[in-house]
Amino acid sequence: MKTVLKITMIILFSATVLYACNKETPKNPEPVAVQKPQPTDSSAKYVKGSHVPTETVCMVNNAYMGKKQIEVPHNGKMYYGCCEMCVKRIPSDKTAREAIDPYSGKTVDKADAYIVMISDEGEVAYFENEENYNKFLTQNS
Query: E strand or H helix at 81, and its extent?
Result: strand 77-81
The C-alpha angle with vertex 103 and arms to 98 and 106, in degrees rounded to 5, equals: 40
Q: How far apart are CA 37 and CA 41, in angstroms?
A: 13
Model confidence, pTM: 0.70
Q: How far is CA 46 from CA 43, 61, 77, 130, in A?
A: 6, 18, 25, 16
Nearest CA to 132 out of 53, 140, 83 is that of 140
Helix, strand, or coil here: 70?
A: strand
Report the amino acid identity of residue 38: Q
CB atoms within 10 A of CB 66: 19
Q: How far apart are CA 95 and CA 10, in angstroms?
A: 36
- Chunk the chain into consecutive blocks of 10 residues (it has 141) and report each block's average pLDDT, rounded to whole numbers: 46 42 42 42 73 98 97 98 97 97 98 96 97 94 79
